[in-house]
Amino acid sequence: MSAQLQEALPHKIFIYDTTLRDGTQMEGINFSFEDKIRIAKRLDHLGVHYIEGGWPGSNPKDIRFFEEMKNIQLTHAKLTAFGSTRRAKIAVYKDPNIQALLAAQTGAICIFGKTWDLHVKEALNIFLEENLDLIRESIAYLKKHDKEVIYDAEHFFDGFKSNQRYALSTLEAAVDAGADTIVLCDTNGGSMPHEIEAAIAGVKRVVKIPLGIHTHNDSDMAVANTITAIKMGCCHVQGTINGYGERCGNANLCSIIPNLKLKMGIDCLDDEQLKSLTEVSRYVSELANMIPQTHQPFVGVSAFAHKGGIHVSGVKKNPFTYEHTQPELVGNSRRVLISELAGQSSILHKAEEYNIDLSKDTEDVKKILKKVKELEDAGYQFEGADASFELLMKKTVGDYESSFTLKGFKIIVEKKGDEMISEATIRVEVANELEYNAVAKGDGPVDALDKALREVLEEVYPVLKGVHLTDYKVRVLDAKDGTAAKVRVLIESSDLNETWGTVGVSENLIEASYQALKDSIEYVLHRRRE
């Protein structure tokens, strides 16, 4: 970065998180009261400067949230209540929204107002000058109550393009009323970086108080637009964890924060706080009941995953050959994926990870490479099945002893009225050459088989009682073959300490599932022997 640009950047950036309000407007997300409390605490620990908790008075959950937060001391963040300017035809001191904002007793209040003349005329159905009164009176009233007031200029960039003079007059009204920060919002998410830059240049000619930026991702430009705004001098940044938000989402703080700190040299968080970013991303995903975005920059599980043999070889010599930053800085980790593209470097890296003694150019390495390529050609995939690959390596080098032998199983699926009944009977021989039998019912044939297998083995290996299946995926490999097509089953299992993946492939769904289930159990038992 040039010295001239570095000098022009704001010295202090304030991170304003709106996951608990704007983020909840994403389709499929609905945080409980308890979720909101837990996320607020985690965001505070992350080190953001503002946590927007919601819209007080709009629903019982948010009312309860703000009441409970009065009893919780935040260390880094300032809790913020969100609302709108007063409604037309209602005096500011009588407006229930304004009174609810004050009753929340938060350290800061953020209100939004109309900037785009289209919205004033068609959404509010009032005169343009009347809208300026709403902005002035609302902010002035809140300032009389000694509140820090952040003013969100809704639809600012669309308003600026439609009627530049009027859009700027709404900002001037907010400044005259005493707003502490003016936030420019790309509410529809349709602006481009060069439009953001031009508009902010125009704003800076008339507004001399701190500026902020709030962008949406409808054009996939939210992060780029935010970085552009910061380059133009905005010091207040609004966004959400994982980019959650209405339609295509909001600006993603999990990308913005590391870009500011690692690429632009702006210490918006300290080093230790930055290391917790990946954990926070996955924590919020978990509470949102959303599948983590695998390929999300910086914090995604694939953000530092390497598949090609040349890439792996390069990274082992110098990580910067194929990584733009160090994964550890954001709390993530490097992963080497095993596939038909793997080379010796990939195999040796995994051997080191699994504590398997292998040397370059040995017969074992060549056997493993050959086996991987054969299996992947047959439909196996080890990228999400590290446990199956570890067992494959151990089998190849002679460091594998099966913990049990399947003697046979039978599964009956019966329909009685509206009820489907699945029952599995299994017979297994364990290392001491004793046979064990079990019968179990399940929600489907695979569930019944899983329960029967665990029931029979838990007698001999009690450690399996702590293991549970967390995900089950089926992929049809040769759709043209219809019902005779091969399927690949990927299973994810977990205990209190770790999560692992296994794989099975067959023309028979039950057989493929059994392969993956068996590997999952064998992985646990082999790990316990080490």
Q: For the segment 482-499, what is each residue's pLDDT rounded down to a tens digit?
A: 666 789 898 988 886 788
Beta bridge partners of 156: none
pLDDT at 41: 96
Asked if 381 and 403 touch (Cβ cutoff 8 Å), the reply is: no
pTM: predicted TM-score of the whole model, two decimal places? 0.73
CATH of the domain at 336: 4.10.430.20
Mean pLDDT to the nearest integer, 450-454: 91
pLDDT at 144: 97
Residues 246 and 131 in one domain: yes
Residue 150 falls within a domain, yes or no?
A: yes
253, 288, 323 - which closes a domain: 288
- DSSP H or E stretch at residue 257: helix 253-258
Residue 310 falls within a domain, yes or no?
A: yes
Confidence label for 171 from pLDDT (cuts 50, 70 and 90): very high
**What's at 227, amino acid-wise?**
I
Whole-angstrom Cα distance, residue 235 to residue 231? 9
The count of domains in the chain is: 3
Domain of 318 in residue numbering reads as 305-357
357, 375, 393 - which closes a domain: 357
**What's at 377, amino acid-wise?**
D
Residues 333 and 443 in one domain: no
| Interacting residues of 341 by C-beta distance below 8 A, sequence separation 6+ | 307, 308, 309
* Least confident piece of the model among 45-49, 375-379, 426-430, 436-440: 375-379
Whole-angstrom Cα distance, residue 493 to residue 500? 6
Confidence label for 365 from pLDDT (cuts 50, 70 and 90): confident
Could you give the percent of the chain with pLDDT greater than 70? 93
pLDDT at 236: 98
Residues 38 and 65 in one domain: yes
Residue 290 has pLDDT above 60, yes or no: yes
Mean pLDDT of the chain: 90
Helix (H, G, I), strand (E, B) or coil at 473: strand
Residues 134 and 279 in one domain: yes
476 or 177, greater pLDDT: 177
Residues belonging to the chain = 530
CATH of the domain at 197: 3.20.20.70
For 247, the token pair is 């339609």
For 32, the token pair is 């409980």
Mean pLDDT to the nearest integer, 207-234: 98
Long-range contacts made by residues 430-438, C-beta under 8 angstroms, separation at least 24? 430/403, 430/404, 430/405, 430/457, 430/460, 431/401, 431/403, 431/404, 435/407, 436/460
- DSSP H or E stretch at residue 186: strand 181-186
Residue 363 falls within a domain, yes or no?
A: no
Residues 54 and 118 in one domain: yes
Residues 310 and 271 in one domain: no
Residues 11 and 149 in one domain: yes
Residues 313 and 203 in one domain: no
Mean pLDDT to the nearest integer, 138-143: 98
Tokens 């596939």 belong to residue = 339
Asked if 97 and 84 touch (Cβ cutoff 8 Å), the reply is: yes
Residues 519 and 415 in one domain: yes
Helix (H, G, I), strand (E, B) or coil at 192: coil
Strand 305-306, strand 236-239: pairing: unpaired
392 or 101, greater pLDDT: 101
Beta bridge partners of 493: 469, 500
Long-range contacts made by residues 308-311, C-beta under 8 angstroms, separation at least 24? 308/341, 308/343, 309/341, 309/342, 309/343, 309/344, 309/345, 309/346, 310/343
Residues 456 and 525 in one domain: yes
Residues 78, 80, 85, 89, Cα dihedral to 10°: -120
Confidence label for 153 from pLDDT (cuts 50, 70 and 90): very high
Whole-angstrom Cα distance, residue 440 to residue 462? 18
- DSSP H or E stretch at residue 322: none
Residue 367 falls within a domain, yes or no?
A: no
Closest to 330 (Cα-Cα) out of 304, 293, 292: 304
Residue 374 falls within a domain, yes or no?
A: no
Mean pLDDT to the nearest integer, 514-529: 89
Whole-angstrom Cα distance, residue 501 to residue 162? 53
Residue 258 falls within a domain, yes or no?
A: yes
Mean pLDDT to the nearest integer, 430-455: 88
Residues 166, 167, 169, 174, Cα dihedral to 10°: 150
Say how far residue 238 (Cα) sits from the centre of its chain: 17
pLDDT at 482: 66
Residue 474 falls within a domain, yes or no?
A: yes
Confidence label for 220 from pLDDT (cuts 50, 70 and 90): very high
Whole-angstrom Cα distance, residue 194 to residue 346? 43
85 or 357, greater pLDDT: 85
pLDDT at 386: 85
CATH of the domain at 478: 3.30.160.270
Q: Biggest alpha carbon distance in the chain?
A: 89
Residues 339 and 431 in one domain: no
Mean pLDDT to the nearest integer, 222-250: 98
Give me the DSSP letters along 128-154: HHHHHHHHHHHHHHHHHTT-EEEEEEE
**What's at 320, amino acid-wise?**
F
Asked if 184 and 229 touch (Cβ cutoff 8 Å), the reply is: yes
Give me the DSSP letters along 277-304: HHHHHHHHHHHHT----TT-TTTSTTTT
Residue 314 falls within a domain, yes or no?
A: yes
Residues 94 and 182 in one domain: yes
Residue 339 has pLDDT above 80, yes or no: no
